[in-house]
Structures are given as C-alpha cells and as structure tokens.
C-alpha cells in the first residue's frame, strides 16, 4: 500500500475548528487525514469523517502513538481507544510519534508492539516519526526491511534534511513532510515570492510543490477553506530545474520543533 502524497494535517486544531477543517478538506477532495493521540482531537476527526459521507474505503487515516502508550501492554489498547474515537475498525497508518531516546520504554519494545498491532489488524501499515538515521536503522532491525512505510519528519525549504532523506530513499521508506511552511516563516521569503510570481502561484503552493517534486508526502493544515483549496493546487504546479536549484540554496537548518527528551540527536 502506498502513502498518499497529499493529506490534511490536524496539528494544533481542536474542537469545532478541527471538525470544520476536516469536513472542508473532505468536501474539497482530500482523502488523507493525519492526526495523533497527543493532539487531543481524534474524536472530532472521527466525527467529521463519519458525517462526511465519504466511504471509509476511500480514506487514508493516520494516527500516532504517544509516549505514555509505548509499553508492550499499553500500545495496542491505546490504539483500540484511538479507533473508537475515530469511529473506525482500523487506521491505515500508525506511527511512533517520537523516538524519545531517554524514555523508560526501549525502541525494541515499542517497535515490536507496533508490529503486533499491525498483526492484529488494528492498522494496515506502520511507520515512525522524527527518527534520525541511527534510530531508523534500529527500527528496521526490529520489524524488518520493508515494514516501515514512512518516516514523518519536519521538512521545509529552510530545513531540507538531505542526509536523512537520502537514507530513507535508499531504504525505500517514504518521506512525509510536516511543517513544510516552517510555521509560515517561508511565506515571506523573497526567493519563493519570485518563483511564485513566475508561475502565478502562491508561496505556499511553491513550498508544497517543492516537497512533492522531491517525492515527499505533505500534510498541510488550515482552518480556512480557501487555504485548503489553494494548497491542493500545489499538486498541479511544476517547478523547473532552476526553481528547484534556487530553493536548494535556502537551506539554513531552520528547525522549528525539537522537544527535549523526545527528539533524537539530529543528523
């Protein structure tokens, strides 16, 4: 099973805001929805999906296991709870949210528990999020080559993570890019503005098209229906070699998220 290249994210969205966002996204044609246990919005995402009228078989739903549930006797039960909230019998993809190298539960235990959840039919695919190269290697050693569908990592024109993404490509692990707009910081970039003008596009579309052309999946979020619609148009934007070369020079290791105790030592 492949990972959809374009989905809607729900990070930092709660209550009616996330219901409206997911509902609008599904009406506009999105078919992949990304959430997580720690977002506190799985029930609202489930409500929006249930009320959308879109057949479950047409959707690709991703959630992420939080660190409180990494132990082998907690992971599957926590995923059962997620399924109840999401009003579904299974999710399409379940990720370990953070490697949490200082956590009391070791990587071998939580990766084995995640593989067991897949064996039980709770999730169709499994993956990781925010893992560096070394921890990705360790995860592969536990579950086997070809079992990790994606590594969802922070990526933007300001944080291009070339060493990690090259390794993931070599391992045939799909890259899912989150925070592709760097919390909106790239929206004021003059180089991106020039490229956007050239293509009669928005800067957000340019940043998303950049990630898509590099073969990454993207999961941008918005509470505004017009932005959700606009973002989708990035799928049809074709950047040329000059555009991509100029964007490659924007790398500045501009990481926005690296929580102590959860994040690895970055490559």
Work out the end-to-end distance of the chain between its first and last CA atoms, rounded to an integer number of angstroms: 28
- Whole-angstrom CA distances from 144 to 115, 147, 174, 183 are 10, 6, 15, 35
Neighbours of 166 (CB within 10 A): 12
**To 5 degrees, how large is the angle CA 109–CA 114–CA 117?**
130
- Dist. CA 156–CA 29, nearest whole Å: 24
Tokens 């899912």, residue located: 176
Q: Is 39 a catalytic residue?
A: yes
Q: Among the options 39, 70, 178, 216, which is catalytic? A: 39
- Torsion sign across C-alpha atoms 29, 94, 20, 189: negative
DSSP 3: P
- Active-site residues, by number, are 39
């Amino acid at each position: 099973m492949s990972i959809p290249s374009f989905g809607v994210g729900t990070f930092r969205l709660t209550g009616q805001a996330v219901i409206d966002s997911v509902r609008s996204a599904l009406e506009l044609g999105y078919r992949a929805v990304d959430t997580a246990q720690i977002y506190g919005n799985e029930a609202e995402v489930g409500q929006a999906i249930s009320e959308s009228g879109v057949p479950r078989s047409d959707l690709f739903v991703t959630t992420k296991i939080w660190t409180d549930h990494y132990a082998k006797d907690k992971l599957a039960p926590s995923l059962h709870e997620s399924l109840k909230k999401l009003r579904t019998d299974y999710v399409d993809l379940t990720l370990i949210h953070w490697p949490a190298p200082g956590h009391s539960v070791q990587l071998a235990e939580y990766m084995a528990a995640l593989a067991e959840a897949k064996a039980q039919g709770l999730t169709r695919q499994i993956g990781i999020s925010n893992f560096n190269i070394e921890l990705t290697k360790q995860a592969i050693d536990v579950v086997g080559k070809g079992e990790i569908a994606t590594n969802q990592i922070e990526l933007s024109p300001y944080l291009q993570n070339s060493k990690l993404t090259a390794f993931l490509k070599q391992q045939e692990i799909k890259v899912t890019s989150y925070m592709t707009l760097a919390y909106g910081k790239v929206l004021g970039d003059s180089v991106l503005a020039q490229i956007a003008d050239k293509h009669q596009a928005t800067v957000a579309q340019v940043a998303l098209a950049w990630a898509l052309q590099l073969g990454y999946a993207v999961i941008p979020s918005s509470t505004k229906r017009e932005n959700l619609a606009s973002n989708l148009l990035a799928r049809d934007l074709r950047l040329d070699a000059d555009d991509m070369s100029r964007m490659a020079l924007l790398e500045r290791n501009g990481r926005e998220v690296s929580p102590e105790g959860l994040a690895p030592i970055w490559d």
